[in-house]
Chain A
Amino acid sequence: MSKKTLCFFNSRGLIAFEKHLNLIRESGIWEPFDDILNDSTLTEKISRTVVDLPNHFSNRLECGKFFSDLFKKFEAELTAAGVDPHVHVGLWSWLSASMGEFLKGAGKEPVIGEAARWTFMPNDFGRYYRHLLAGPYMLFDMHSDQPELVEILLYNDVTKPNTAYVEQIASRPLIVDNPAAMELIHEMYFDYAKKKPRKSSVAKIAEAGDIRRFGVVFNQLALTWDVAGLSVDELRSILPKEFKPLFSQ
């Protein structure tokens, strides 16, 4: 755990953060963000209370839950500061910088990857979930009363988040924000005993019955059916027969 006062980067801080990130990306050498985190002209305080930021999450589910609990605890302070964690870029960049040692990965060379991993892109349906910290939070928050509905999206490592499930499901609001669809996806593709997707449920290219086909087929069905208003049984009944072998009932 590291003790920090919860802050966010202001517009100058965001620029400094991006520059620092690019420096690491280009050099391949890790440099902590301490200088910009400690520069009071680049940050705005949300609360005077010191919070414990973990140095590690065992998986994305734990990460999502941590931030969900944290933001509930500081709800009044966040509101007073005009910070909505669902859309606030400065907050997530500050958190990324604060937890950079963990997010860079355990290997010799830091893994920076695409910008969306470090800079939250809340307005981009195809990228918002790729942020290493905000992604788990957004997905957990969507089903915080039933977190078992997002296990397939959050079972894995925070620093290696991109699975076909995340890409195919999280980018489709009609699926990811649909409890019945998420329940059906877990029935078809998730092994609750092993806490991970069943083997061979993802092919490199879309194959009959796999998650990539599910995304495509679901989009088509949404043109004909009010998919968000259907129960799990009703969804099962409209899926084509290629998916039938995956049903448990």
Chain B
Amino acid sequence: MRSVNATFNYTERVRIERDWVEFKAVSDSNGSTVELTRLKIDHLALPSDADIVVEVRTTRRRIRRFDAGTVGSPTFGVPFELNEPTADGVSIDLKVVKPNLAQKGKILAMCKGLRPLFGGHPESLLVIVPKDLGQRLWNLNFDPVSGPELELNSEFENPYMVWNNQLFLALTLPAIVKSIAIWLVENQDVGDDDPIGPVVKEWKLLFSRWGYPVSSQDGEDFDEVQHWADGVAGAFSGKYNYFSSVNSFFAVDGE
């Protein structure tokens, strides 16, 4: 049964819808950053001197905070260094906070659990490509140069915002990760001078961070590779607690 308390807001704070906010994350060999790229809250009539505070929850179990200006003057496009190897898996809370002495630190408005957009940027590992797919929602393509590309139906109003939809992610990404794992085993020996070499290297690094180094697979035994790729997909789902996070989508009313 759902918690009754969770449905009430006693705090007078205003809810900021996820569609009104957008962050971009970049992870590369120099580290990882997050930056605010869009914020549409003019209609909320919040004080223009109220502070905008961003809290990034990272996979290292840390909360990294940064200031993103004020309601009257938000700071866009300034990368905030996470001091961690990857921005993969981060979750972001954005708060609008009272700045003055009386009730300093009181939250006026908040948006929780945002995920940054990785797609559409050259730094992204999984490149998102809007494409005419008819009735299909998505397709995974392996480009000989850019590697795995997630093709999303271009009829989506904003294909990139699909990345902020938890249900979509939970239903599709484990399968995508499994396919990429198998592709990675097949391509693990390509050299750095191969066009796809740098992409393979980045994916290998990512899989190692998840505890599944591709070097453990020689690719000889089909069943073993499948089993290993299943393990990667399982670990990936566990990493984002997908079952727990989407279970409520399938709850029957009244239960």
Contact = CB atoms under 8 A, between A and B. Distances in A.
Contact of B53 (A79, A89, A229): A229
Interface string A139-182: 00010000000000000000000000000000001100110000
Contact of B60 (A82, A87, A228, A229): A87
B205 A82 contact: yes
B105 A225 contact: yes
Given A123-B240, A128-B61, A226-B107, A82 B209 contact: yes
Contact of B59 (A12, A79, A123): A123
A124 B53 CA distance: 25
Nearest to A14: B211
A223 B240 contact: no
Contact of B204 (A82, A177, A234): A82
B61 A230 contact: no
A173 B65 CA distance: 13
B213 interface: yes
A14 B216 CA distance: 11
A226 B95 CA distance: 8
Contacts of B84: 86
Nearest to B205: A82
Nearest to B207: A82
Max chain A C-beta neighbours (<10 A), residue from B65, B106, B210, B238: B210
Given A14-B211, A234-B104, A122 B55 contact: no
B97 interface: yes
Interface residues of A, number: 35
A44 B142 CA distance: 29
Given A11-B228, A123-B59, A173-B63, A88 B11 contact: no
Given A226-B53, A229-B65, A229-B97, A11 B212 contact: yes
A53 interface: no
30 contacts: A10-B216, A11-B211, A11-B228, A14-B211, A44-B213, A44-B216, A82-B205, A82-B208, A83-B208, A84-B60, A86-B61, A87-B59, A87-B211, A88-B208, A89-B211, A90-B211, A123-B238, A123-B241, A124-B238, A142-B62, A174-B63, A177-B63, A178-B63, A224-B107, A225-B105, A225-B107, A226-B53, A226-B107, A227-B105, A234-B104
Interface of A: 10-12, 14, 44, 79, 81-84, 86-90, 122-125, 128, 138, 142, 173-174, 177-178, 223-230, 234
